[in-house]
């Protein structure tokens, strides 16, 4: 099944922390959503690979995503290389998103940085017809937005989404990550308040783009 929006995280809780609100609001509008996780999170300070995979699937159920998959790249050793980019390209060609979300390029965690770069490369490579000829090339090239996960290097977003109406469900998705719940929830709360304040909302999520974002004839930003 194709999706409209694909969120990619390096670790099992990245998407829930960074863009769960956007996924929930997209579902409410009838859009199809997906989550791709690159690692099992086995190098985390809490939990093990089996626990974190189960938690990720439970969180995905809370968010009601239409597609969910976990790859097996090594946690804390996600590398920016062609082979890893192809792993993402295959998923892009199968699920055919119009918008792809990933962690931001300027993050203190090397896996997050590598994931942003891998997604950027994969979004381009997914348009190349010679790759995975069993699937149609992904065209037009999806829009790539990044979300901030780093409290050490906070971002200045170019887009902020008011997620006040779905923040309670976002919290439930985070709570599904029981092994990580305590350490991450307080930080996510601060970040959501921080981004929300930028647009006079109780809670928000911030997003960045390297490329110009087209303003369509419906003037969706007005």
The size of the chain, in residues, is 222
Torsion of CA 155, 73, 89, 151, to 10 degrees: -10
pLDDT (average), residues 104-122: 97
pLDDT tens by residue, 4-43: 999 999 999 999 999 999 999 999 999 999 999 999 998 8
Is pLDDT above 90 for 193?
yes
Given a cut of 80, is residue 221 above it in pLDDT?
no
Residue 151 is encoded by which pair of tokens?
């409290």
How far apart CA 179 and CA 163 sit, in angstroms, is 25
Question: Is 78:115 a contact under the CB 8 Å cutoff?
Answer: yes
Using the CB atoms, write b or e for 113-128: b if 16+ within 10 Å. bbbbbbbbbbbebbbe
Q: Do residues 59 and 177 lie in contact, with contact meaning Cβ atoms separated by under 8 Å?
A: yes
- Per-residue CA distances from 49 to 15, 70, 179, 210 (Å): 17, 11, 11, 33
Taking residues 113-124, what's their average pLDDT?
98
Q: What is the CATH number of domain 5-208?
A: 3.40.50.10320
pLDDT digits (tens, 9 = 90+) for 149-188: 988 888 899 999 999 999 999 999 999 998 886 767 788 9
| Torsion sign (Cα): 13, 159, 92, 65 | positive
Mean pLDDT of 194-209: 97
DSSP 141: P
Q: Where are the alpha helices (DSSP H) in the chain?
A: 14-28, 49-63, 82-95, 110-125, 167-175, 181-198
Confidence at residue 131, expressed as pLDDT on a 0 to 100 scale? 94
**CA dist., res. 203 & res. 170, Å (int):** 11
Q: In the chain, where are the structural domains located? A: 5-208
Please check the confidence at residue 222 and state whether its pLDDT lies above 60: no
What average pLDDT is seen over the chain? 94
- For 47-74, write each residue's pLDDT tens digit: 789 999 999 999 999 999 999 999 999 9
pLDDT > 90: percent of the chain: 83
Mean pLDDT, rounded, for 115-141? 96
Whole-model pTM: value is 0.96
Distance in angstroms (rounded) separating the CA atoms of residues 200 and 169: 20
Predicted confidence band of residue 220 (pLDDT cuts 50, 70, 90): low
pLDDT of residue 139 exceeding 80, the answer is yes
The Cα 125–Cα 144 span in angstroms is 13
Would you state the pLDDT for residue 153?
85
Average pLDDT over residues 70-89: 97
Mean local confidence (pLDDT), 79-84: 98
């Amino acid at each position: 099944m194709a999706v409209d929006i694909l969120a990619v995280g390096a670790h099992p809780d990245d998407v829930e922390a960074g863009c769960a609100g956007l996924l929930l609001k997209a579902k409410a509008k009838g859009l199809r959503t997906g989550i791709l996780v690159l690692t099992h999170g086995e190098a985390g300070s809490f939990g093990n690979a089996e626990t974190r995979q189960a938690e990720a699937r439970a969180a995905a159920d809370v968010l009601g995503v239409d597609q969910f998959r976990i790859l097996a790249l090594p946690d804390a050793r996600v590398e920016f290389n062609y082979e890893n980019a192809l792993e993402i390209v295959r998923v892009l060609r199968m699920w055919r998103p119009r918008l792809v979300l990933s962690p931001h390029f300027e993050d203190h965690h090397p896996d997050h940085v590598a994931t942003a770069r891998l997604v950027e490369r994969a979004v381009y490579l997914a348009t190349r017809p010679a790759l995975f000829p069993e699937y149609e090339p992904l065209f037009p090239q999806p829009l790539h937005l990044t979300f901030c996960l780093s409290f050490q290097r906070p971002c200045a977003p170019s887009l902020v989404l008011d997620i006040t109406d779905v923040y309670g469900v976002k919290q439930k998705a985070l709570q599904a990550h029981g092994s990580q719940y305590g350490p991450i929830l307080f930080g996510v709360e601060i970040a959501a308040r921080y981004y929300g304040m930028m647009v006079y909302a109780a809670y928000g999520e911030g997003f960045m783009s390297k490329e110009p974002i087209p303003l369509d004839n419906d003037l969706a930003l007005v």
